């Protein structure tokens, strides 16, 4: 019976005081719109844990990326360097401002933006670089910041998957001029939909707040800095309800525990599959200095597209939900219309046809992980 129970790719979970805090938001605080007491507590935790100068909760990482694109002052025709092996929002946020995503290939080991390909992709229209920390594993930020500085470019870290992951002891999201986090239910720390913009440069602090508050200086008004508030700039409604922040606070309070649990699952997968990698039957995530990042995702890379299809089918027949990741943006319908590539996309095209993500969520049991790895071993028997 146990054998056939479905193992889902992801499951949302309650870990602590989520529901109690939501009740408090409604009953005690009498504040359920945005920018309330729970929002403030979440932002304090983010500022403390990441070390950014200002954190603003948003209703998604997509929203945070859109705010970042406004703050970068992207004008029609401005180019933004990013990987094609990423989620749609990384590119869309800049396209909404008239920007042109310029895709460069990823590294075959980390699957992150290949930092050596950035300089050759620059033109006099390049305005920003958006490194994506795939699976919470860090991009080569020293090299990326160096190219940016030499060419006067802004860096927005898409740290959607990377909360509490580090690069040389520095939290991801704290290194670029801005960082963007996601609390979508598929990420490590969740609030259904949710995200945050992290500001690491004083220049952007005040404007970020105005964009967040629908283009008004309402935040300054609430602090008593101005005696009425009014329309100051472009902006939108980017803040979540304080009920969402209440849910999120309970998760943030347990972040270390959630990440420790996910990292244990990551390690178990790694240990139980490494003999297959040693036989060169498949590839596992590349561990920089042995670090598993924040245990965000575990994937296997099949030897070719045919074996990939066979593996997914075999796992499905064992009632295990294993799924691919990104359809390379440069080859998608909108990507062809709105963006361009710089150089070969060989690694991106190859990897996106062979990578399979395995079930990984808080509460996934040890014997379930073993069922997945056993099914993979059976496939190669
Ligand atoms: C999940 C994700 C996003 C989008 O996050 P939302 O909160 O769903 O908007 C953006 N970029 C990357 C790399 C992601 O993984």
Could you tell me which of 97, 294, 64 has the C-alpha nearest to residue 193? 64
What would the DSSP string read from start to end of 42-61? HHHHHHHHH--SEEEEES-H
Beta pairing, strands 100-104 & 79-83: parallel
pLDDT at 269: 98
Q: What's the pLDDT tens digit per position in 13-46?
A: 999 999 999 999 999 999 999 999 999 999 999 9
β-sheet bridge partners, residue 56 = 197
| Residue 351 token pair | 């990897």
Cβ(122)–Cβ(81) under 8 Å?
yes
What confidence category does residue 293 fall into, taking pLDDT thresholds of 50, 70 and 90? confident
Domains of the chain by start residue, with CATH: 18-253 (3.40.640.10), 255-380 (3.90.1150.10)
Taking alpha carbons only, the member of 5, 61, 14 closest to residue 361 is: 14
| Residue from 82, 84, 161, 327 to probe ligand 1 pocket by mutation (most atoms less than 8 Å from CB) | 161
φ, ψ dihedrals at 192, nearest 5°: 85, -90
**For 41-51, how does the pLDDT look when each residue is reduced to its tens digit (9 = 90+)?**
999 999 999 99
Mean pLDDT of 314-333: 95
pLDDT band at 1 (very low <50, low <70, confident <90, very high): very low
200: left (phi over 0), alpha (psi -120 to 50) or beta: alpha
Model pTM above 0.85: yes
Percent over 90 (pLDDT), the chain:
95
Q: What is the structure's pLDDT at 290?
A: 61
- The C-alpha angle 9, 355, 364, rounded to 5 degrees, equals 25
Read off the pLDDT of each residue in 238-253 and give the average, rounded to a whole number: 98
Residue 381: closest CA among 321, 325, 326, 311? 311
142 Cα–ligand 1 center, Å = 23
Residues sharing a CB contact under 8 Å with residue 380, sequence separation 6 or more, in sequence order: 276, 281
Choose which residue among 60, 69, 160, 197 to substitute to test ligand 1 binding: the one with the highest number of ligand atoms within 8 A of its C-beta. Answer: 160
Over the stretch 120-167, which tens digit does the pLDDT of each residue have? 999 999 999 999 999 999 999 999 999 999 999 999 999 999 999 999
Q: Enumerate the β-bridge partners of residue 197.
A: 56, 180
Q: What is the dihedral of CA 80, 82, 85, 90, to 10 degrees?
A: -60
Residue 288: which pLDDT band, with cuts at 50, 70 and 90? confident
Does the pLDDT at position 289 exceed 90?
A: no
Q: Ligand 1: residues whose CB is within 6 Å?
A: 60-62, 86-87, 89-90, 132, 158, 160-161, 182, 184, 195
Phi, psi of 91 (to 5 degrees): -85, -45
Q: State the distance from the centre of ligand 1 to the C-alpha of 275, rounded, in angstroms.
A: 32
Position 4 confidence tier, pLDDT thresholds 50, 70, 90: confident
What is the rounded CA–CA span in Å between residue 180 and residue 159? 5
* DSSP three-state, residue 377: helix
Distance 100 CA to ligand 1 centre (A): 19
Which has the closest alpha carbon to 66: 190, 184, 195? 195
Percent of the chain past pLDDT 70, that is, above it, reads 98
Mean pLDDT rounded to a whole number for the chain: 96
What residue has token string 């006099």? 124
């Amino acid at each position: 019976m146990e054998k056939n129970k479905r193992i889902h790719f992801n499951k949302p979970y309650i870990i602590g005081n989520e529901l109690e805090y939501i009740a408090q938001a409604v009953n005690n605080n009498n504040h359920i719109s945005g920018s309330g007491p729970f929002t403030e507590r979440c932002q304090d935790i983010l500022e403390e844990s990441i070390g950014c100068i200002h954190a603003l909760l948003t209703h998604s990482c997509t929203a945070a990326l859109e705010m970042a694109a406004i703050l970068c002052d992207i004008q029609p025709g401005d180019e933004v360097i990013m990987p094609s092996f990423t989620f749609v929002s990384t590119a869309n946020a800049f396209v909404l401002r008239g920007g042109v995503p310029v895709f460069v290939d990823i590294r075959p080991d980390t699957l992150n933006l290949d930092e050596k390909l950035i300089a050759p992709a620059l033109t006099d229209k390049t305005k920003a670089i958006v490194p994506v920390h795939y699976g919470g594993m860090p991009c080569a930020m020293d090299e990326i910041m160096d190219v940016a500085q030499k060419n006067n470019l802004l860096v927005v870290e898409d740290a959607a998957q990377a909360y509490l992951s580090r690069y040389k002891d520095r939290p991801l999201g704290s290194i670029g001029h801005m960082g963007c986090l996601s609390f979508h239910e598929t990420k490590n720390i969740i609030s259904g939909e949710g995200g945050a913009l992290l500001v690491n440069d004083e220049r952007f602090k005040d404007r970020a707040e105005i964009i967040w508050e629908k283009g008004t200086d309402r935040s300054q008004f609430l602090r008593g800095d101005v005696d009425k508030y009014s329309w100051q700039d472009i902006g939108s409604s980017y803040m979540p309800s304080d009920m969402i922040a209440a849910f999120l606070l309970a998760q943030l309070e347990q972040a270390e525990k959630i990440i420790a649990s996910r990292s244990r699952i990551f390690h178990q997968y790694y240990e139980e599959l490494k003999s297959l990698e040693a036989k060169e039957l498949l590839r596992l995530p590349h561990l920089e200095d042995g670090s598993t990042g924040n245990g965000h995702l575990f994937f296997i890379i099949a030897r070719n597209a045919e074996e990939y299809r066979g593996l997914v089918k075999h796992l499905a027949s064992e009632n295990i939900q294993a799924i691919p990741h990104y359809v390379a943006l440069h080859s998608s319908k909108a990507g062809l219309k709105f963006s361009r590539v710089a150089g070969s996309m060989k690694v991106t095209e190859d990897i996106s046809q062979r990578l399979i993500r395995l079930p990984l969520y808080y509460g996934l049991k040890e014997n379930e992980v073993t069922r997945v790895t056993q099914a993979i071993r059976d496939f190669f028997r």
